[in-house]
Structure 1
Amino acid sequence: MTALLRRTVLAAATLLALAAAAPLALAGNQKEEALADAVRLALSNAIKDATPPTPSFRNPSDQARYQNWLETMSYRLKRKLPDDQTRNEFLATVWYEARRAGLDPGMVLGLIQVESAYRKYAVSIVGARGYMQVMPFWTNIIGDRNRSALFNMQTNLRYGCSILRMYLDMEAGNLYLALGRYNGSRGKPDYPNAVLAAWNNWK
């Protein structure tokens, strides 16, 4: 075996070992559905808004509640995201994007726990990407076709929260069915039950 071949085999073996050690992303296969033009336009507008995740508060008590939430969640998430700056930016963005979409931030954290185990660059076997395991076809339907942007934290969270909000509206507020639709498993209990159980960790 030549030195070059030996190095190639060693590199391939290392990559396989790393892949085997990494936890799998648990995303299902989100379905590409026919959307009404108004829905597509609303989703497109929702993800185009480039407003940075800067929270605003109506009064000091709201701000105090947010700070308490941020500190509590940061402590709970420290093992998964040990870097303080990364963890706090992630939590601030989750809170902002969830609230922007009318979702509970704790529920979004539970969904991310099930979907990607808080891994920014997670890719599922069906190609879903990032924290919220967004399928790349969404960038064709409502975005600018830039699939690599789904690894950007705010972009991924904005897509995921906006899509889940759309499914909630489609399902008349039924979270169980909306979660199933998000995962591509509508009507099956495993995924919604997993997210709802994970949500309890973040309440």
Structure 2
Amino acid sequence: MTAQGVAGLQRRACLLGAASCWLPGAAHAGRQIEEPLMDSVRGALSAAVANSAPPKPTFGQFNDRLVYLRWLGIMGDRLKKRKADDQMRQEFLETLWYESKRAGLEPALVLGLVQVESGFRKYAISSAGARGYMQVMPFWARTIGDGDPAKLFHMQTNLRFGCVIMRHYLDTERGDLFMALGRYNGSRGRAEYPNLVFGARKNWLMPEETAPGVQTAQR
């Protein structure tokens, strides 16, 4: 996260308690608003979602791989109540980590966003028609995809679209995460949704990221 994004986070209202984000029915489904896109932006977003590289990370240093495997283990334990099947949980976390890093987003932020948006329900559909884990609106499939909104229920496709869209909004807002999250939810400028995501994000930080004196609001 950029310094500007951190500043945007800090100058807003206090975060809601993380525990409240675990309450049943707490999902706040996305209502991204369809906005005109410049051809260059549409082309860049289309290219970003079209790359079908498999979610298998490569590491330059052995220690980096150990850090990744530790993250998988800790997050897997935390997610067990939400996703009981070991293989499905592993695949979900591997894909989310890959797509988060690919888009330059913090995995803890994306996990918090998924928690608030869909409660980790793969086939969640909002009253506005948003779909899947990251509650992607169907118009995105037409605007930057192949036009088939049914594919938004595919795990990697949904996480790919959601992360690319979130990155687009963050760039549009020049690093202001509060405003970018508002855009993602269709509630730009209002505090409720960003504060829910910020609170949920706390559930997915690594232990050392919550230690006193450690800056946790990082990309």
Query: How many Å separate the matches in 2 of 1:136 and 1:120?
Result: 15
The equivalent residue for 1:165 is 167
* Structure 1 counterpart of 2:185, one-letter code: N
Superposed CA deviations along residues 153-194 of structure 1, whole A, max 9, x for unmatched, are 000000000000000000000100000001000000000000
Relative contact order (C-alpha < 8 Å, sep 6+): which is higher?
Answer: 2
Q: 2 CA distance for matches of 1:61 and 1:180? A: 36
Whole-Å separation in 1 of the counterparts to 2:197 and 2:67: 24
- How far is 1:24 from its partner? 7.5
Answer yes or no: is the 8 Å Cα contact 2:26–2:116 preserved in 1: no
Q: Is the contact between residue 98 and residue 108 of structure 1 (CA under 8 Å) also seen in structure 2?
A: yes
Instruction: Provide structure 2 residue ranges, at least 5 long, that are not aligned to the other structure.
Output: 1-23, 206-219
- Matched with 1:8 is none
Q: Which residue of the partner structure matches residue 98 of structure 1?
A: 100
Shift of 1:27: 1.1
The normalised TM-score by structure 2 is 0.81
Which structure features the higher share of helix residues? 1
> How many Å separate the matches in 2 of 1:101 and 1:186?
21
Name the aligned partner's letter for residue 45 of structure 1.
Answer: A
1:137 to 136, 139, 142: 139
Contact 2:185 2:193 in 1 (8 A): yes
Please say if residues 103 and 165 of structure 1, whose CA atoms lie closer than 8 Å, have aligned partners that are also in contact.
yes
Q: Which has the larger radius of gyration?
A: 1
SS at match of 1:141: helix
Deviation at 1:23, TM superposition (A): 4.2
User: Deviations for 1:96-125, whole angstroms, at most 9, x for unmatched residues?
Assistant: 000000000110000000000000000001
Q: For 1:104 and 1:79, how far apart are their aligned partners in 2? A: 22
Structure 1: 5+ residue stretches without partners: 1-21
How far apart are the structure 2 equivalents of 1:81 and 1:67?
18
Paired residue type of 2:104: G
Q: Which amino acid aligns with 1:112?
A: V
Aligned residue type for 1:88: Q
Report the aligned-residue RMSD.
Answer: 1.1
Partner of 1:36: 38
1:189 is aligned to 191
Percent identity between matched residues is 58
Match of 2:118 among 116, 127, 134: 116
CA contact (8 A) 1:24 1:124 kept: no
Q: Give 1:165's aligned amino acid.
A: R
- Equivalent residue pairs, number: 182
Instruction: State the shift of 1:29 in Å.
Output: 1.6
